[in-house]
Amino acid sequence: MSSHETNTARVAKLNREQREAVNYGIKDVKAKQHRPLLIVAGAGSGKTRVLSARIGRLIACGAEPGRMFVATFTRKASQEMIERIRSTIKGELNGASISLPYAGTFDSIAYKLLQEFAGQVGLTKQFTILDRGDEKHLMDIVLTESGKAGGRKAFPSPDVCCDVLSYSKKR
């Protein structure tokens, strides 16, 4: 079975709507004209299977993997998606591996883009991103050092202080 037949067999297992999504907007293979597609569907609906088959099809038709943006919301979904895409692509490219620099969670892709374009957005290459856990830990340190934490007078918890700070930044 050839690599194209492998992906064809995968696509054959999809329902009509899923097959339409895999082949959507692929007009002229030689001219590499591929229309973008956004797939929004619920849990268990076959999104990962459809997207990995579509990406395999696009790459087989000449699309550049480095120009693809494949984002998920969770790390687990991202790892599964990338694994399935690589498996599909290996079949399409006779075992060759490719790089998918813009595949992952929205947060991880944003971080990669910030690293790549740090200078153009006013950051140094050594910037740091703090998540909610980091922010809470730092707020706890500040409250403890200022004598506000654990005192007799009621003072908001580090969580509440972080919420207030976040709200004030949005204003």
Element (H, E) at 100: none
Task: Domain ranges for the chain, please list them.
Answer: 3-121, 132-170
Confidence of residue 168 (pLDDT cuts 50, 70, 90): confident
For 113, residues 6+ apart whose C-beta sits below 8 A from its C-beta are 102
* Sign of the dihedral defined by the CA atoms of residues 79, 85, 86, 88, in that order: positive
Q: What is the pLDDT of residues 19-77, one digit of tens each?
A: 998 888 876 555 566 677 888 888 888 888 888 888 888 887 778 888 888 888 889 98
Average pLDDT over residues 105-113: 93
C-alpha distances out from residue 76 to 46, 57, 104, 105, 167, Å: 16, 24, 10, 9, 29
Q: What is the CATH superfamily name and number for domain 3-121?
A: P-loop containing nucleotide triphosphate hydrolases (3.40.50.300)
d(CA 31, CA 47): 27
* pLDDT at residue 29, rounded to an integer: 54
Global pTM? 0.66
* pLDDT at residue 116, rounded to an integer: 92
* pLDDT at residue 111, rounded to an integer: 92
